[in-house]
Structure 1
Amino acid sequence: MSAKREQFLKMIGQGWSVAAAARELGVSRSSANNWKNGYRITRTDGTVVTFEALTPAPQPISTRFLSQQERLLIADELHAGTSLRRIATLLGRAPSTISREVRRNRGGLAAYRPFTAEHLARERRRRHHRLKVQADVQLGSWVTARLAEYWSPSQIARALPATFPGQRERHVAHETIYRAVYRHQLPPLARSSRSCLRTGRTYRKAHRHPSRRRARFGLPVRMITDRPAQVLERLEPGHWEGDLIAGPGHRSNIATLVERTTRFTVLIPVLGSRHAEVVHRGLVAALGTLPPDLRRSITWDQGIEMSRHREVSADLGCPVFFCEKGKPWQRGSNENTNGLLRQYFPKGTDLSVHTPEHLQAVAYQLNHRPRAVLGGKTPAELFDALLPFPHHPLLRP
């Protein structure tokens, strides 16, 4: 069974609807129905393969409720003529618990049947209640009107006590409003206004607990805190910072590399869906011709395009360090250069139209521009002085 089918089975067992579980897992509704109800496939050779319907395991319940095993023992002891108080002692329960169990879950039968009692108890535990904003027409209409004005659920919840003073039954939490929106339980809420939340979502997006989130890279990485101290002082050349600038929908990208000491810039086109492979090849092609003392380290953002960082490090003979999440200033030279490059590659434009020759011409122009941080010198001038031989390909227009 695939991982998604296993997760689907677990979600159905927890009470998720088929549509909600399919939407959460990113599968089609028809596939989810097939997983739940079973299906058959006729192969080209005429053989028929049957996939049985999934049977979700019952959701575990708290130990404060009677279990199936305890109900079996109750039935056996009642059949043997044991008193309710004695059964309670055997189970370590209160006598009232056993008395209420036998009275409520007999199901109109003459004898107490444990499996019938288990089914009745599980059905009774289900919560079949309506939210306040759905049951109260006036409250629901007021909340719907505010949602139509693009109020957030938190703003609506804070305004309810002043709008309905002294009516605590109409003071609801913002989570109640979110549930009503996601479950479409506000009757006046039209289809066009179901996505009135600022996120535009019509369903809840699940968030993993930080301790359960899957790491971006499968293998351990070197963080920027492991980087040598001399890199921060910019006294030693050969330490690079890199990132991607993206086009619409990340369908076209340009990898940017900046040398920390000279601010020398290298541009690499990244096209197609296999970003990691393209970035790997581009970095090796761009930096592989440099002497070892000009490729001492690379500092990169935690983008998936650098998932082959171990291959990059092995091929170039230099370590790859990663910035902390949400801290782009840790590679400030690269961020500043990306801002300068947006003059040539505006946001929202297709970056795939730029040829490698054009990218090299843009890098040439940027590298031959005097920089105040370099004392009026150009990045190309300083970088050229570090090379043991002239006319390096990176310096050509």
Structure 2
Amino acid sequence: MTSEIDQFRAMVRSVVDTEITPHIERWEAEGTFPAHELFPKLAAHGLLGLSFAQEDGGEGAPLEYQMVLSEELGRGNAAGIAMAVNVQMHMATPSLAQFGSAELKQRYLGPAIRGEHVAAIAVTEPDAGSDVAGLSTRAVRDGDDWLITGAKTFITNATQADWFCMLVRTGDEGGYKGMSQIIVPAGLPGFEIVRKLDKLGNRSSDTAELRLDNVRVPVSNTIGEIGRGFQQQMGQFIIERLSACFSIVGGTEWALAKTRDYLRVREVFGAPLATRQYPVFKLAELTADVELLKAMNEKMCRMLNAGEDITREATVGKLHAGRTYRNVADAAMQFHGGLGYMEDSWTARFYRDARLSSIGGGADEVMLQVLARMDGYRV
């Protein structure tokens, strides 16, 4: 299997080098990328269907293949593209694959796997981010339809999405109860992309605010059981956090290698920085942090392949991954000095992109709260 994984990694790296790397500077400057052009190219190599069952049009591959794909997408300072692909594969579609009806999977999952549709996940609202219980977008039953009213924000892929996996309230229980996941196609009457958001980093990935005013969607577009959306979304969050851990390994390994190369050629006070104890020890420490993350990722792969619950491991991994990403970005910029602070240096984008890792997909503070509660604390 190691040989097959190595061959797969080489193929993915070739695809990234051909289809993403030559265009990333332009996509970053434009603040978006052509998802409907890129995704079919990735799908042609089976990359968008790795995690899905063969009967749904996927590859049915072991989780290690998803890990390699995410690592390679994370490598090369194209974090915005890695995030957009991860949304397609690991954030907007896992619930649909697990709980969706055969009809829903045929209409929405199949085209997403083939790269014909761009998918997005719509959970966060202006007043409800990490606190999903505060979600207020509501769907009211009208015969065989839902009428959905509310707002969503920070939605990745939103300006190009063909459909959204949207978490909304369908009951009056309040709190974590009475929510459902519903597939909401883009372009319906009353559905508006309010504005594209101007972000600090990950600029090649489009992000937007949504507004819904009595948007009519068939009840049959509900994923799984009505009222079980929160529980389904929590499971989908686990896959999202897992994919973040995978991608961050690729990005940090790439950045550490480039920084080590720079230390060997940059002379300060008559000697290369690579002869100075502090920068060398710092990079050694950060490399060890990445190795620990890789070990956790491999553990999570083994556990998921065996059908085990990885809630704790994914929470620990997400917390460690975000902090490691930020620490690597900070050290890379520091050791590049004034050059690293310039926008035409790779370190500037890497630094900006890294900051999201401890906010998106569950802030560090939320990860700590989850772990504290698992350890019996009431916080």
Short-chain TM bin = under 0.3
Q: Which has the higher contact order (CA 8 A, sep 6+)?
A: 2
Q: Which has a greater percent of strand?
A: 2
Superposition TM-score, scaled by structure 2 size: 0.23
TM-score by length of 1: 0.22
Q: Which one has a larger percent helix, Structure 1 or Structure 2? A: 2
Whose radius of gyration is greater, 1 or 2?
1
